Amino acid sequence: MKILNIVGVVATLLSSNVALASADLAKSKNCMACHSVDKKMVGPAYKDVAAKYAGQKDVESKLVQKIIKGSKGEWGQIPMPPNVNVTEAEAQTLVKWILSQK
């Protein structure tokens, strides 16, 4: 029983660190200049992105490409410019974090 409790605590700590690391990654890549977790700014709030794409198949790869290549028209007339400073692996981390927002 103690082992299960320890495993649960470790899993919680690891997931918390991943969430914090992803928020830090978003800040370091200047994503937070246009986005926030819970409020629309220049771009949509991450919780709104998560809600819009919830349950869609292949959405992670689609959003990774939007981060890297940019997009326009999905959230209004202001385009999201390409983010050339984000690697594909970083974009995948960001997308997983964004889609976990509630």
- What is the tens place of the pLDDT at every residue in 4-37? 444 443 344 344 445 556 899 999 999 999 999 9
Q: What CA–CA distance (Å, rounded) separates 19 from 3?
A: 24
Which of 34, 43, 27, 33 is CA-nearest to residue 75? 43
Ramachandran area for residue 17 (φ above 0: left; ψ -120 to 50: alpha; else beta): alpha
pLDDT tens, 28-79?
Answer: 999 999 999 999 999 999 999 999 999 999 999 999 999 999 999 989 999 9
Q: What CA–CA distance (Å, rounded) separates 35 from 61?
A: 20
- The predicted model scores a pTM of 0.78
